[in-house]
Amino acid sequence: MKIDITEYSKKDKKIRVQKQDRNSSLDLNFLYSFNDKKKEKLYKELKILLQSGVGLKKAIDIILLQTKKKDRIVIATIQNEILKGKSLNFAMKKTGVFSTYEIYSVEIGEETKNLEHIFNELQLFFYRKIQIKRQIITVSAYPAFVILITILVLVFMLRSVVPMFAKVFKQFGGELPSLTRKIIYISDNSSFIMGFILAIIVIFTAIHLYFKKEDGYRSFTSNFTRKIPFFGNIINTIYLARYCQSMSLLLSSKKPLIDSLNLIEKMINYYPIESTISKITADIIKGKSLGNSMSKHNVYDTNLVSMIKVAEEVNQLDIMFNKLATQYSEDVEYKTKTIGVIMEPLIITIIGLIVGVIMIAMYLPMFDLSKILNRG
């Protein structure tokens, strides 16, 4: 699909988009990424403009004026479709950059004439999603950096420092301590060991890329990840927060529970939750409550199930899911900060032990140097 922006007048600031095939949607993802941060900003601006009494068409025009050049094609496509009399959800679908979740949510907002609420919920959804991503990056960045430095220091010591000591020991002769011999052996074979480790990483990466869409592989990897101490619990909490936020948006938009669950199944992308949705849906169709259906699956913690059961009794599921989403997001933030506090001294200790063992191994023969010289 080729996109030709033929006119951008400084006077009216409108972009007209011409398409070769009007029956298919624009696949703008091939051109660039209209990422979560841009979506969060778009929904926030739409919400503010509509709350200020600005009509949807005028709001799109205003946003187009403020949009950066590389992102104008998305807004211009939406503007072009709306000027033709199409709905906003249809225009969003045409761009090819919005998820089914977003399109359905906007469609519900148009049907109920409550777009402001939908934009507010979508903005909140992407805001929380971005915050969680940032927290994960913050937590993982420091350990990743320190591990990299550790590897570089280890390689330097094995390739430069240890061989230098080995040459000195060879000149003096004599029997070396067991620990020293082992470190020298590792140093002599460091190229092979590093190559072997790299090969293992490449093989596991290839296996992951090949099988990542298979249910059996996804089940195994996700269950393994959940069992990792502390980290597994955080990952599970992150997706529970996303699940609750999504349910809150859909239910508050008056989307039926069954339809909401079907949409969640398509967008959650976390197998432990995704694999339970069809079973929960089947139970609800049989007349069982959402809380009781969720209680059969251990991915949903006791607190979540209990709160959902209470919310069902008072008919406030959307409000409860929103509160739970906030609670889980705050829980993730607290746990990630805790990891940062724990990981820093732990990693420093590990680095100190590795470097310390190597240095002790190199200096052990020095303590017995006089005996070695006498034997010589």
Q: What is the pLDDT of residues 208-244, one digit of tens each?
A: 999 888 888 988 988 888 888 888 888 899 889 889 9
Residues 6+ apart with CB under 8 A from 174: 365, 371, 372, 375, 376
Q: What is the pLDDT of residues 80-97, one digit of tens each?
A: 999 999 999 999 998 888
The CA dihedral of 56, 61, 66, 72, to the nearest 10 degrees, is 100
Q: What is the pLDDT of residues 334-356, one digit of tens each?
A: 887 787 777 778 878 888 888 88
Residues 6+ apart with CB under 8 A from 293: 279, 280, 283, 284
Q: What is the pLDDT of residues 7-50, one digit of tens each?
A: 333 434 343 333 333 333 444 444 457 888 999 999 999 999 99
DSSP symbols for 81-108: HHHTT--HHHHHHHHS-S-HHHHHHHHH
Q: Where are the beta strands (DSSP E) in 52-173?
A: none
Same domain, 130 and 81: no
- Cα separation, 72 vs 271, in Å, equals 36
Which tokens in the block code for residue 349? 């200790």
**Which CATH number do you get for residue 132?**
1.20.81.30
Domain count, the chain: 2
Which tokens in the block code for residue 277? 């949705």
- Supply the range of the domain harboring residue 223: 126-376
Residue 83's region, left for phi above 0, alpha for psi from -120 to 50, else beta, is alpha
- Cα separation, 12 vs 226, in Å, equals 54
- Any idea what the Cα angle at residue 14 is, between residues 10 and 18, rounded to 5°? 125
Which tokens in the block code for residue 36? 């979560």
Does residue 115 lie in a domain region?
Answer: no
- Tell which of 80, 98, 116 closes a domain: 98
Of the candidates 66, 51, 48, 106, the one whose C-alpha atom is nearest the C-alpha of residue 82 is 106
Of the two residues 99 and 371, the one the predictor is more confident about is 99
Same domain, 84 and 151: no
Give how far Cα 155 sits from Cα of 71, 110, 150, 189, Å. Answer: 45, 61, 9, 12
Which tokens in the block code for residue 112? 């109920």
Looking at every residue in the chain, the average pLDDT score rounds to 82
- Any idea what the Cα angle at residue 65 is, between residues 62 and 71, rounded to 5°? 115
Does residue 116 lie in a domain region?
Answer: no
Does residue 256 lie in a domain region?
Answer: yes
pLDDT higher than 90, residue 309: yes
Give how far Cα 136 sits from Cα of 129, 132, 309, Å. Answer: 11, 6, 31
Same domain, 193 and 236: yes
What amino acid occupies position 258? I
Q: What is the pLDDT of residues 265-289, one digit of tens each?
A: 877 788 999 999 999 999 999 999 9
3's enclosing H/E stretch is strand 3-8
pLDDT at position 311: 93
pTM exceeds cut of 0.95? no
Same domain, 133 and 73: no
Does residue 114 lie in a domain region?
Answer: no
Q: What is the pLDDT of residues 129-181, one digit of tens each?
A: 888 788 778 777 777 887 888 888 888 888 888 888 888 777 766 677 888 88
Does residue 110 lie in a domain region?
Answer: no
pLDDT at position 6: 36
Same domain, 186 and 300: yes
